[in-house]
């Protein structure tokens, strides 16, 4: 259970509040003033502090400022004998998690503790996310820079692009165990095949292949705790996942090569749906860039025909049949018809690039 420190110059209040909290199985200590509290916090940090505002010596507000200024993860609930909105506002502004007016009922105290500890937990999760993201960016920056520079140098013509430059870039950014090098290659090859068979000629086949391999680079900004989660995602976790198309597009959009610029377009569009129910823009039909529509089909097909921790791979025929039921809803009808008719070629690609 959480450790709690009560800081108040009223001994009777300390005893009463301590009994309430200990009955709820919290570990509780108490101090009669701010000086004593500082010594106790220095010796052993706690999860939550109940702190009176007006005490002999230093004010409880000064203790809150110290805790907040040190970047501590300790939650603070202020106590006051006067219901003063201005003081309450000041306490909350400087970092307090709650403000209670004496006398305090046991239920009121326990509800305030539960709320403050939950806020503290959410803040710790946010900080962990930021640290994780910073770590990912730092550890991948060198590989990312090298891959981008290598691709730019070899991009005098897309036809002569160094084929492993994109693979290096994607490998540097790939975060999920299911997104293997073979998955990346297959999505590119499926996209290239579909573009050729459907007559997509706005870009060369090589550009389309390489660009569609970059569809998921935005996942560098998604926590591993979500990407690697074996079970279903919560609604809030899925909202975080939905950020990766825009993140990937932003990452690639400044590239000078045609492949990177097309990769930015694909990254942004590959989760849009023909019926407009996709994300992040919610655009529909022909408004979705054609290479994004191609990548969406290739990516879903590879996901369906690959093993996942939560299900076995579908047979190719079953996957194509399922995808065909989504023509005009999830997928461009014309493109998915061509894709479904390419079962033999798709099987050959799958066989040549197993996981």
pLDDT number for residue 93: 84
| Angle, CA 175 vertex, CA 171 and CA 177 arms, to 5° | 95
pLDDT number for residue 315: 95
CATH superfamily, domain 3-121, is Response regulator (3.40.50.2300)
Instruction: For residues 57 and 42, give the distance between their C-alpha atoms in angstroms, rounded to a whole number.
Output: 19
* 148 CB burial (10 A radius; 0-12, 13-18, 19+): buried
* 69 CB burial (10 A radius; 0-12, 13-18, 19+): exposed
pLDDT number for residue 247: 86
Averaged pLDDT score across all residues of the chain: 84
pLDDT number for residue 179: 56
Positions annotated as catalytic residues are 219
Give the pTM: 0.60
pLDDT number for residue 177: 43
pLDDT number for residue 166: 61
Domain boundaries, the chain: 3-121, 154-352
pLDDT number for residue 158: 43
Low-confidence stretches of the chain (pLDDT beneath 50): 141, 154-162, 164, 175-178
Pick the CATH number of 154-352 from 3.90.550.10, 1.10.3210.10, 2.60.40.10, 1.10.569.10: 1.10.3210.10
Residue holding tokens 């001994």? 11
CB 256 within 8 A of CB 152: yes
């Amino acid at each position: 259970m959480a450790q709690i420190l009560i800081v108040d110059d009223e001994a009777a209040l300390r005893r009463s509040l301590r009994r309430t909290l200990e009955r709820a199985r919290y570990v509780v200590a108490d101090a009669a003033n701010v000086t004593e509290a500082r010594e106790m916090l220095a010796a052993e940090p706690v999860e939550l502090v109940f702190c009176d505002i007006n005490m002999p010596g230093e004010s409880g507000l000064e203790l809150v400022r110290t805790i907040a200024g040190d970047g501590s993860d300790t939650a603070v609930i202020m106590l006051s004998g006067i219901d003063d909105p201005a003081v309450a506002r000041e306490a909350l502004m400087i970092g307090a998690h709650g403000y209670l007016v004496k006398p305090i009922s046991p239920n009121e105290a326990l509800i305030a503790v539960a709320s403050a500890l939950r806020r503290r937990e959410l803040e710790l999760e946010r900080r962990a996310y930021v640290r994780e993201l910073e770590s990912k960016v730092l550890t991948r920056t060198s590989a990312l820079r090298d891959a981008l520079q290598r691709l730019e140098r070899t991009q005098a013509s897309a036809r002569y692009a160094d084929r492993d430059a994109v693979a290096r870039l994607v490998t540097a950014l790939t975060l999920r165990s299911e997104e293997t090098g073979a998955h990346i290659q297959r999505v590119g090859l499926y996209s290239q095949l579909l573009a050729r068979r459907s007559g997509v000629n706005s870009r060369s086949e090589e550009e389309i292949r390489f660009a569609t391999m970059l569809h998921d680079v935005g996942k560098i900004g998604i926590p591993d705790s979500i990407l690697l989660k074996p079970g279903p995602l919560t609604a809030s976790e899925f909202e975080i996942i939905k950020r990766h198309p825009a993140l990937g597009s932003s990452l690639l959009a400044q590239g000078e090569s045609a492949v990177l610029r097309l990769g930015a377009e694909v990254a942004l569009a590959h989760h849009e749906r023909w019926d407009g129910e996709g994300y992040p823009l919610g655009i529909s039909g022909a408004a979705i860039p054609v290479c994004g529509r191609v990548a969406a089909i290739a990516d879903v097909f590879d996901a369906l025909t690959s093993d996942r921790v939560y299900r076995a791979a579908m047979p190719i025929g079953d996957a194509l049949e399922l995808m065909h039921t989504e023509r005009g809803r999830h997928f461009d009808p014309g493109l998915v018809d061509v894709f479904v008719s390419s079962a033999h070629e798709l099987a050959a690609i799958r066989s040549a690039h197993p996981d």
